Amino acid sequence: MSHEELDQLRAKLDDKNMELLKLLNERGNLVKKIGEVKSKAGTKRFDPVRERKMLDLIAEENEGPFETTTLQHLFKQVFKASLELMGEDEQKTLLVSRKKHPENTVVNVKDTLIGDGVQKLIAGPCSVESEEQVLTVAKALKERGISLLRGGAFKPRTSPYDFQGLGLEGLKILKKAGDQYDMAVISEIVSPNDIETALDYVDVIQIGARNMHNFELLKEVGMTDKPVLLKRGLSATISEFIHAAEYVLSRGNTNLMLCERGIRTYETATRNTLDISAIPILKQETHLPVLADVTHSTGRRDLLLPAAKAALAIGADAVMAEVHPDPAVALSDSAQQMDIAEFNEFVTTLRESNLLKDVAAKASI
């Protein structure tokens, strides 16, 4: 074949591409019109019976050289793209999405703002074990100008034989500490039945990683106006996490914070893998404050500081870490909690490194 012949064939191919382009867009315009009619009539955009008929017709009329299965695959892609053209982009409609709500949501937790651009620390013991233990930690935090105290009263433990938490008694201890030191308290609730009681004791309801998929619990907290801290599930994708958050907002509660706490991967050097890039992704895709729990993600005391630095540098609105007066005898997570001296060092280093510019930084490094 001569060069001229090849050029002629290529020119014809270019023409066919342009014809296909025109036809695809003409088809797209028709699809959009159909979408408008369907939207007015309130009928579903996806019609599997009609799609099957179109695919059958393609099979009947196909004269080659393409295989019918190849063509059906290509047309299926066209149908899929058309459906997207017909319907709204789901992200646009999700209440948690930034497309729906471009401004940052700032959650007011007993007058401490989370998501206002000033990064915060949240700290406290893994489990509430006694009044003395919680008050000791609360005092230490208060002295460093930290006003967000965490502590678990209902503990979702891997083994039913491990310490399950003090329950209501634990919530009472937290409230006492919160009142005494004017701090906000954060505690996990694991059952929809306990939400109502918890409202009187805590300032933030935490939904733990193991309950991210407990949709009844999410709906129940969604019906309150209490700030909620939702943790990412152990094996949840970012999309699943975002949809879990949507459950809370869909019931009316917009006081929601997301918390990356590490996901399960094949890596065994850390307890979980801190998915650091999830933080800016969640900040881009949603308007909610995004927190990083450095304790449960790393499971290693020696990694708390570098992980906190990374989380703050990448834009987390707050960092959460566990502190216990005597970690060696802690009833849960003994290997990863800081004692008070270590915590003080942790706070000082973060403030001195200029990574944590929280309100108290100037007052007390």
Closest to ligand PEP by CB, 115 vs 152, is 152
Q: Give the residue closest to Mn ion by C-beta.
A: 126
Q: Give the residue closest to ligand PEP by C-beta.
A: 208
Alpha-carbon dihedral angle through residues 197, 202, 207, 209, given to the nearest 10 degrees = -130
Closest to ligand PEP by CB, 188 vs 194, is 188
Residue range at the interface with Mn ion (CB under 5 A); choices 126-134, 189-197, 203-211, 299-307: 126-134
CA dist., res. 117 & res. 104, Å (int) = 9
- Shortest reach from residue 292's CB to ligand PEP, in Å: 11
For 250-287, letters b (16+ CB in 10 Å) and e give eeebbbbbbbbbbbeeeeeeebbebbbebbeebbebbb
Position 126 contacts Mn ion (CB under 5 A): yes
- Shortest reach from residue 357's CB to ligand PEP, in Å: 25
Residue positions counted in the chain: 365
- State both tokens at 282: 């969640």
CA dist., res. 145 & res. 344, Å (int) = 11
Nearest to 107 by CA among 94, 122, 92: 122
Closest to ligand PEP by CB, 296 vs 301, is 296
- Binding site partner of 243, from ligand PEP, Mn ion, none, Cβ cut-off 5-8 A by kind: none
* List of residues contacting ligand PEP (CB under 6 A): 126, 152, 156, 188, 208-210, 231, 261, 293, 296
Is the separation of the CB atoms in 74 and 266 below 8 Å? Answer: no
- Shortest reach from residue 125's CB to Mn ion, in Å: 8
- Give CB contacts under 8 A, 24+ apart, made by 58-65: none
Closest to ligand PEP by CB, 126 vs 360, is 126
- Binding site partner of 209, from Mn ion, ligand PEP, none, Cβ cut-off 5-8 A by kind: ligand PEP
Closest to Mn ion by CB, 126 vs 218, is 126
Residue range at the interface with Mn ion (CB under 5 A); choices 17-25, 110-118, 133-141, 332-340: 332-340
Closest to ligand PEP by CB, 261 vs 283, is 261
Closest to ligand PEP by CB, 253 vs 298, is 298
Residue range at the interface with Mn ion (CB under 5 A); choices 18-26, 120-128, 164-172, 195-203: 120-128
First and final C-alpha spacing in the chain: 80
- Shortest reach from residue 143's CB to Mn ion, in Å: 23
- Binding site partner of 115, from ligand PEP, Mn ion, none, Cβ cut-off 5-8 A by kind: none
- Shortest reach from residue 255's CB to ligand PEP, in Å: 18
Selected from 317, 333, 339, 358, the binder of Mn ion by CB under 5 A is 333
CA dist., res. 214 & res. 353, Å (int) = 39
CA dist., res. 122 & res. 142, Å (int) = 11
Region for residue 182 given its phi and psi (left: phi exceeds 0; alpha: psi -120 to 50; beta: otherwise) = left
- Shortest reach from residue 234's CB to Mn ion, in Å: 13
- Shortest reach from residue 304's CB to Mn ion, in Å: 12
Closest to Mn ion by CB, 249 vs 257, is 257
Closest to ligand PEP by CB, 188 vs 246, is 188
- Shortest reach from residue 103's CB to ligand PEP, in Å: 28
Residues that bind Mn ion (CB under 5 A): 126, 333
